[in-house]
Copies of this chain bind each other. A is one copy, B any other.
């Protein structure tokens, strides 16, 4: 076997073990009995160790080097370009992985698997002290990882690189500051416009089974393939892939408000459409893999917000919602639309409106940089969070469950992940604007509940490429320019008529 084929085989072998680990993680969140947690951690740790060993074996380095020196020729220029991209990405992954000792990889997997349960309990009890030792340990392991990976200016960049290749804190900081600067002055007007309707008007009885059926119908309508995926229920919604035709979404239900679960479903289904749009023939290789979390999030936000909070969307779906939910009987469409677009500073990120959401990210981006740098101790985290929250949102934090304990990310060891959410918001608006510009016919089709043209455009411009282009290249090829905040701000202003 030549070096390229050896890499292909190894890459697919690792993908199979990773997909088994994905199922173990998915099951842990959905169906696993509570006493099984300790052994589940051992299972995940052993699989992580195995794939680390397979991915960092010396022969892998030799194969990559051999391909870099001379890639076996193919008759097809497109095929050659794909192979070159695969080799480039294998090199990136290999260099990143070989810098970590296997011991650190296994300890990280075991710790984060156990800390997840500790976090869930701490959040239930709003007991930060119970989670603090876990966060301490995760931060120590994370700093150790960052030192292994290396960085040029700040340690945080080494983490960010794992989620958004090429992104640097020093580049994001001014973009985020600029966004905050332009966004904050808009908020009072948005709050006023959307505050005209009492949120209690939406309060009603929305049986879980009926919500589940409506969510599924809408997810199907936007193009999610339920023959190659499903939706289950978890505390923290997510989307995960465990094979080329096996994409699992999760959501959670509020029996007093069906829009929360529906928005969550649109969001995860947006991730799922990206996943299902990857080339199954390349599953397990870079070309068949999503390129970054910021691009992934651009797809979830697109379907959740640009589509799922539009007037056109609800003009089509609201009559159906009224049919199945008698609680909506006395609530006219325009008032309902204002409620699903309600802007109001609040405590919980995942329940935030699309405008103030970015302020939640800016807060976390600031704080996790300090935690990683060692400029903020874990014990001081709640106080620092609460003080900064007050400054940004003008709200005090009632308890840590609604403060620094609310997100699962740090408990899972996902530090440096948060900024990709705001990158996603900016890219979703920029991609949507480009799609409409390129194919204006889709506007009318979307109003008719026909999402095929928009999905096809995203498939063509984003999904099918996997990691062939960097996130920045992908956005430039699709929209003609790098990521800018202006499309998101214009989208918000246009929507509310400012």
A residues near B, CB below 8 A? 13, 16-17, 19-21, 23-24, 27, 31-36, 38-40, 42-43, 46-47, 225-230, 232, 242-246, 283
- Consensus secondary structure, chain A interface: helix
Contact of A33 among B35, B46, B246 (CB under 8 A): B246
A35 touches B232 (CB 8 A): no
Which B residues are CB-close (under 8 A) to A17? 46
Distance from A27 Cβ to chain B, minimum over Cβ atoms (Å): 6
Q: 26 A-B contacts, Cβ less than 8 Å apart?
A: A16-B43, A16-B46, A16-B47, A19-B43, A20-B20, A20-B21, A20-B43, A20-B47, A23-B23, A23-B24, A23-B27, A31-B31, A31-B232, A32-B246, A33-B227, A33-B230, A33-B245, A33-B246, A34-B227, A35-B227, A35-B246, A36-B242, A36-B243, A36-B246, A39-B246, A40-B243
Contact of A229 among B21, B33, B39, B228 (CB under 8 A): B33
Tell me the bound Cα distance from A227 to B225 in angstroms: 34
Tell me the bound Cα distance from A207 to B377 in angstroms: 55
Tell me the bound Cα distance from A38 to B245 in angstroms: 9
A42 touches B16 (CB 8 A): yes
Which B residues are CB-close (under 8 A) to A228? 33-36
A46 (CB) vs chain B CBs: closest residue: B16
Tell me the bound Cα distance from A20 to B18 in angstroms: 11
Tell me the bound Cα distance from A232 to B228 in angstroms: 21
A12 (CB) vs chain B CBs: closest residue: B42
A31 touches B227 (CB 8 A): no
Which B residues are CB-close (under 8 A) to A244? 39
Tell me the bound Cα distance from A27 to B243 in angstroms: 13
Which B residues are CB-close (under 8 A) to A229? 33
- If A23-B23, A24-B23, A33-B228 touch, does A13 touch B46 (CB 8 Å cutoff)? yes
Which B residues are CB-close (under 8 A) to A226? 33
Which B residues are CB-close (under 8 A) to A13? 46
Tell me the bound Cα distance from A46 to B228 in angstroms: 21
Which B residues are CB-close (under 8 A) to A46? 13, 16-17
Which B residues are CB-close (under 8 A) to A20? 20-21, 23-24, 43, 47
Which B residues are CB-close (under 8 A) to A32? 246
Tell me the bound Cα distance from A230 to B27 in angstroms: 12
Tell me the bound Cα distance from A242 to B21 in angstroms: 13
5 pairs of A and B residues whose beta carbons are closest in the complex = A36-B246, A39-B243, A35-B245, A35-B228, A20-B20
A243 touches B43 (CB 8 A): yes
Distance from A467 Cβ to chain B, minimum over Cβ atoms (Å): 20
Tell me the bound Cα distance from A34 to B225 in angstroms: 11
Besides A13-B46, A36-B243, 12 other CB < 8 A contacts? A16-B43, A17-B46, A19-B43, A20-B20, A20-B23, A20-B47, A23-B23, A31-B232, A32-B246, A33-B226, A33-B229, A36-B228
Which B residues are CB-close (under 8 A) to A21? 20
Tell me the bound Cα distance from A225 to B35 in angstroms: 10
Distance from A383 Cβ to chain B, minimum over Cβ atoms (Å): 37
- If A20-B20, A27-B23 touch, does A39 touch B245 (CB 8 Å cutoff)? yes
Chain B CB within 10 Å — which of A32, A39, A40 has the most?
A39
Tell me the bound Cα distance from A13 to B35 in angstroms: 20
A229 (CB) vs chain B CBs: closest residue: B33
Tell me the bound Cα distance from A372 to B230 in angstroms: 40
Which B residues are CB-close (under 8 A) to A243? 36, 39-40, 43
Distance from A242 Cβ to chain B, minimum over Cβ atoms (Å): 8
Distance from A105 Cβ to chain B, minimum over Cβ atoms (Å): 16
Which B residues are CB-close (under 8 A) to A33? 226-230, 245-246
A13 (CB) vs chain B CBs: closest residue: B46
Tell me the bound Cα distance from A227 to B32 in angstroms: 9
Tell me the bound Cα distance from A243 to B36 in angstroms: 7
Which B residues are CB-close (under 8 A) to A40? 243, 246
Distance from A168 Cβ to chain B, minimum over Cβ atoms (Å): 37
A226 (CB) vs chain B CBs: closest residue: B33
Tell me the bound Cα distance from A246 to B283 in angstroms: 31
Tell me the bound Cα distance from A227 to B34 in angstroms: 5
Tell me the bound Cα distance from A27 to B246 in angstroms: 12
Which B residues are CB-close (under 8 A) to A245? 33, 35-36, 38-39
Tell me the bound Cα distance from A39 to B15 in angstroms: 11
Tell me the bound Cα distance from A38 to B19 in angstroms: 14
